[in-house]
Amino acid sequence: MCGLAKSSLKSSQNRNMRLILASTSAFRRELLARLQLSFEVAAPNADEAPLPHETPAATAERLAEAKARAVASSFPDALIIGSDQVAFVGDQRFGKPGTRENAMIQLSRMGGKTVIFHTGLCLLNAATGRIQLRGIATEVRFRKLSASEILRYLDREDALNCAGSAKSEGLGISLLEYVRGDDPNALVGLPLIVLCEMLRAENVLVP
């Protein structure tokens, strides 16, 4: 009976833990809101540069954990979500373009190619130190894109803060031939199917 009581108490405590999204991304915030859970947002201070000889997948997963850990001291009793995404073809990486010129270069290089968008997802229980870390890959095939198509797209879509410059939840979907992956939300930046699994493992009720 004592064991059951302790288990029940732990479950109740986890359900009431604060949930923190360690991200400044409006896209991730909108995705997390779909789960209808109360959460707060905190900006992580993490160096997003890849390490020497680090694979793109390893970079995304390491940074997801780094973002969660970056805010842990401010929320010592919370569940903290960190996520990061790297797009790549072979050893060529495509991050957030930042400028229109970089976006044009990225899209011209990705046209006619299959690009892997690898999303790292971390759930950190700051109270116990428990880490859940996963990588979710999404295969995206780009159409062969003409210069005029790229220009029209960039005139109409603000994609400068999207890895690979392709905002798939907007007009960017018109640039693609297909998307293949286990979680349709992963490409936008927050894999909700895996996140729900992680939250349930921490006794958070979803739904």
> At a CB cut-off of 8 Å and minimum separation 6, what does 27 contact?
162, 169, 188, 189, 190
User: Which one is catalytic: 47, 77, 84, 91?
Assistant: 84
Which phi-psi region, left, alpha or beta, contains residue 178 (left: φ > 0; alpha: ψ -120 to 50)? beta
> At a CB cut-off of 8 Å and minimum separation 6, what does 157 contact?
167, 170, 171, 172
Question: How far apart, in whole angstroms, are the C-alpha atoms of residue 63 and residue 124?
Answer: 13
| Strand 92-94 relative to strand 114-125, pairing | unpaired
84 is catalytic: yes
Residues assigned a catalytic role:
84
